[in-house]
Amino acid sequence: MIAQKAFDRIFHSSLIVLAAIYCIGMRMHLMDIDSAQYALISKEMFLSGNYLQVHCAGADYLDKPPLLFWISCLSFEIFGIHDWAFRLPSVLVLAFGIYSVYRYAKIYYPENTAKLASLIMASTCAAYLMTHDVRTDTMLTGWVMFSIWQLAEFNNNQKFKNIFFAAIGIGLAMLTKGPIGLIIPVTAFSFEFIYKREWRKFFRWQYLVALLIIALMLAPMSYGLYQQFDLHPEKEVYSMKGPSGLRFFYWTQSFGRITGESYWNNNPDPFFLFHSFLWSFLPWTVFFLPSIYSEVKAKIKNFKSPSTEAISVGGFILVLLFFSRSKYQLPHYTFCIHPLAAVITAKYLGQRFFSEQNLNSFRITYRVHVFVMSAILILCFILIYFVFPAGLIQYLIFFSALVAFIYFNVSKKNDLVRKTIFVTLIPCFVLTFMLNTHFYPTLFSYQSGSNAGKDLGAIQKDGKQLMIFAAPYNFSLEFYSNAKILFYNNSFNCKLQLMNKNTYVLVDSANLAYVKSMKPGARILKKYPDFSVTQLSPQFLDPNTRAKAIQWVNLVGY
């Protein structure tokens, strides 16, 4: 077995490496659509000073609660309006959630298992994505795990401070993404109480205080929703005439996707979220599958005399089933239950690492795991050699990592813990490093919105405005630019507007000659390749056919 000091060094050094890689990614361009849209909403809220009513590009916005925008405004106030300043608060909350994973697991399992759980969560694909493609799920994951930790503490010691902090966590989670912030912890602990037949725990007076705290926290948002929508039945948002902001937030947005009341419907297959979870939980997926099987099997076997916690397994499975009932699903919907999966996986690995149980079956699992990790390294090589050819430094780092991966896999000098962790994390480190330092920076050169917006932000000190004519609009364009943006597809109105010399025009190549003919002296300031970077296709990824997948956007000035 590994010495405690050696395990602690591996644990702390791995977290430091992950933190460094994630910090590099915080300075990348904001990705259209969601991340850039939320940053734009935060920017508009910050500049207007209207914090109770939410708008996007000047229009009423009803989709998400305001906490992400509020905290981003605070970050803008401190650091200025930057993409990394938008990401920073969410990433800090996620880091707090990872710490909460450790504190929660420590209540029920040995110290090393708790550390392993937090390391697993910190190194998942989901954690990586949440640090640079910031959506509401980043904060939701942190606040939900914090509330579960505090509820577990309260469940054990009944200290009022823990139910108080749990209520704060739930309130913040609901202000981040709605009722799901309450549903997840309630579902997890309800399963625990039912499984252990602890019926009295359903009826504690402290819950009433917690509900009061949550209600007080939601009051400002509820008042803003009532002012913005319920008092204005003439408004139309998302094809809904006279929507109630309160009903939308407390019911339609979450439960309406199951009952069919919500207009969002992308007809997902029944297992969409499960197979989305399988890739988003990499590089630990191979270990998770026997972990969840073992956990469910143990819970059934010990049903008459339960001993260990059932919060993590019950919360994960029941919430996943609840999400899967939705008629509209996206891969990131499961991110908020990844911490529970991390605890389940850490328990399974901890039993093999620190007590050496069932090592024979683990060896088979380990071989499959090595195969998957090898595939990740191959993917990384394809990205830096074929998709976007890299430089000498990237190749040196990659091949150094490859040598280390082979060494830890074949060397008999390394114990099981060291071997498994390094064989898992080396591909994780090298892939995320290449993504943040090479792949995504190159990919974002094809996101015309952020590139044009940054150029306009640099030259736009003369109060000029931007007119978009037959060209794609991106939220990133408006976030990075301070321009007043006008939309014209009518050529007569467009020609009238061009009489104003303080106007830039963003136009696609098909309409470039037409726009230039409207105004003598027009010239192309810059051309931008444009491709939807969230919808990568084989045609785009292949350098030989990439030119066919992109279109060009032109910035025209006078």
Q: How far is Cα 377 from Cα 383, in angstroms, rounded to an integer?
A: 10
Q: Measuring CA to CA, which residue among 418, 346, 390 is closest to residue 114?
A: 346
In a domain, 24, yes or no: no
pLDDT per residue over 350-368, tens digit each? 988 877 667 777 888 999 9
Under the banding of pLDDT at 50, 70 and 90, the label for residue 256 is low
Residue, of 173 and 412, whose pLDDT is higher: 173
Number of domains in the chain: 3
In a domain, 1, yes or no: no
Same domain, 43 and 86: yes
Same domain, 231 and 332: yes
Structural domain ending residue among the three candidates 287, 318, 353 = 353
Pairing of strands 236-237, 59-60: unpaired
In a domain, 219, yes or no: yes
In a domain, 130, yes or no: yes
Is residue 489 over pLDDT 70? no
In a domain, 13, yes or no: no
pLDDT per residue over 49-87, tens digit each? 999 999 888 888 888 999 999 999 999 999 999 999 999
Query: ∠ at Cα 531 (268, 280), nearest 5°?
Result: 40
Structural domain ending residue among the three candidates 315, 338, 353 = 353
Same domain, 135 and 235: yes
What mean pLDDT is predicted for residues 252-272? 71
Same domain, 221 and 292: yes
What mean pLDDT is predicted for residues 113-127? 96
**Residue 207 parent element (H or E):** helix 206-225
Q: What is the CATH number of the domain that holds 462?
A: 3.40.190
Both ends of the chain: CA-CA distance in Å?
72
Same domain, 203 and 142: yes
Same domain, 212 and 175: yes
Same domain, 169 and 258: yes
User: How many Cα atoms within 13 Å fall on the side-chain side of residue 124?
Assistant: 35
Supply φ then ψ for residue 526, to 5 degrees: -165, 150
**Of 206-220, 228-242, 544-558, where does mean pLDDT reach its minimum?**
228-242
Most confident region among 339-348, 362-371, 475-484, 505-514 by mean pLDDT: 339-348
Residue 474 lies in domain: 447-557
Judge whether 393 and 433 are in contact, CB under 8 Å. Answer: no
Same domain, 259 and 197: yes
SS (H, E, C) 254-270: CCHHHHCCCCCCCCCCC
Same domain, 260 and 192: yes
Query: ∠ at Cα 371 (368, 372), nearest 5°?
Result: 90
Specify the pTM. 0.93
Burial class (CB in 10 A: 0-12, 13-18, 19+), 298: middle
| H-only helix segments in 53-159 | 67-79, 83-108, 111-122, 125-132, 136-157
Same domain, 404 and 496: no
Structural domain ending residue among the three candidates 353, 371, 389 = 353
